[in-house]
Amino acid sequence: MVDINYPENAMSVDLATVKRVAHLARIAVNEDEAQRMMGELNGILGFVEQLSEVNVDGIEAMTSVTPMAMKKRTDGVTDGSKASDIVANAPNTDQNFFLVPKVVE
């Protein structure tokens, strides 16, 4: 079991919450496993709470550890140049459209 001293206002997880999350995730946990998970999750939350103590004033947010521009492609509508490949296995086609039997008179 993880033993961490974290602030009074820190978020904590109780046994009922662990069991509810396990149920929602469809994970079977017994009483001992739930107790262990509660300690581990509270330890993780304690570490996350410690991050709030870090002074980040004047530090610009970043998306990567190395400065780089995001690669972007043009946003254009195309047929994907694969229309003939898509309909290749269809029993009936006409100009790259699927032909289906008429079902409504």
CATH numbers and ranges of domains, the chain? 1-55 (1.10.20.60)
Q: Is 17 helix (H, G, I), strand (E, B) or coil?
A: helix
What is the pLDDT at residue 63?
Answer: 75
pLDDT, mean over the chain: 85
Q: How do residues 45-74 score in pLDDT, each as one tens digit?
A: 999 899 888 898 988 887 778 877 878 888
Query: Which residues touch 1 (CB under 8 Å, ≥6 apart)?
Result: 35, 36, 39, 40
CA 38 to chain centre: 22
What is the pLDDT at residue 1?
Answer: 45
Q: What is the DSSP letter of 13?
A: -
Average pLDDT score over residue span 11-32: 93
What is the pLDDT at residue 5?
Answer: 52
